[in-house]
Amino acid sequence: MADMAMIWNGILTLAIGSFMWWIRGVNASKDEMEKMIYETREKIATEYVSKNDFEHRADDILKRFDKLEDKLDAFLQRVKNV
């Protein structure tokens, strides 16, 4: 009876130890994935522009082109009248 208890304890110890080792590996993988996600978010925030910022900058550029177009039209009008 004692031998069966020792064998059973050995089997349970191996099973629980293996399960805990697997859980540790899964947890380490999860931590690594979270770290990669945070690094990606930081990279996106520092290297890429948001949609609102892009639209604001595009509007500024278009306004400058409109001013340039108005000046060019005025210049061509003066040349045409001379």
Co-location of 40 and 56 in the same domain:
no
Print the domain residue range for 57: 49-82
- Overall domain count for the chain: 2
Co-location of 39 and 67 in the same domain:
no
Co-location of 35 and 66 in the same domain:
no
Co-location of 68 and 42 in the same domain:
no
Co-location of 78 and 56 in the same domain:
yes
Co-location of 58 and 41 in the same domain:
no
Co-location of 13 and 31 in the same domain:
yes
Co-location of 33 and 62 in the same domain:
no
User: Could you give the CA distance from residue 8 to residue 75 in angstroms, rounded to a whole number?
Assistant: 97
Provide block-wise average pLDDT over 10 residues at a time, the chain (82 residues): 88 96 96 93 82 90 95 91 76
**Residue 46: its pLDDT value, please?**
78
